[in-house]
Homo-oligomer: A and B are copies of this chain.
Amino acid sequence: MSKPLEFWFEFASTYSYPAAMQVEAACAAHGVPLIWRPFLLGPVFGAQGMTDSPFNMFPVKGAYMWRDMARICAASDLPFHKPTTFPRGSMLAARICAANANAEWIGDFIRAVYSANFAEDLDVGAPEVIGPVLEALGQDAGSIIDNAATPESKQALRDLTEDAIARGIFGAPSFTVGEELYWGHDRMEMALKHAAAGD
């Protein structure tokens, strides 16, 4: 009996991009239910005493990450264009996800936002980018974006971020299966096997 896989992602996070593009199909292939868990890395890094992305704080590691991202995306046939701004604002898209967790279009929305940031080099922090993404999915962009600014939507995302910290999450993407935590795109397969085995 398989267990659900919780996928913890941050729209600004580079390695979350290939994971987000692949995780729904990978879960389906393993017969594992997927639960999308958007959160914000800013408060998570802040809780560790960091004030910026570690890739900006440690430029040598950052330079490697961009090369590694290009390799990983090439190996997975994913288009990749290094964003001209990093990290990009992720609050709006994350609030939309938090407020629409069970919408049937949420997976397509998540993938479209990642593509906009990491393949099309668009400013996904802006409603002018997120609006057309929603419209292309046949959704009412205006009401969804307005709803993302309600106290309930803001609180939903804060709750997810606090839950992430409480679970010992320190980076993105992360995967949880019950109490077990897996960090990084390269742990997706291990997490899926655990979820599929269900033990």
Contacts and interface: CB of A to CB of B under 8 A. Distances in A.
A25 interface: no
A68 interface: yes
A190 interface: yes
B186 A63 contact: no
B64 A183 contact: yes
B48 A181 contact: no
A170 B61 contact: yes
Interface residues of A, number: 22
Contacts of A64: 168, 170, 181, 183
User: Chain A at the B interface: mostly helix, strand, loop or mixed?
Assistant: helix
A168 B48 contact: no
Nearest to A165: B60
Interface string A161-193: 000000010110000000001111011001000
B186 A60 contact: no
Contacts of A47: 60
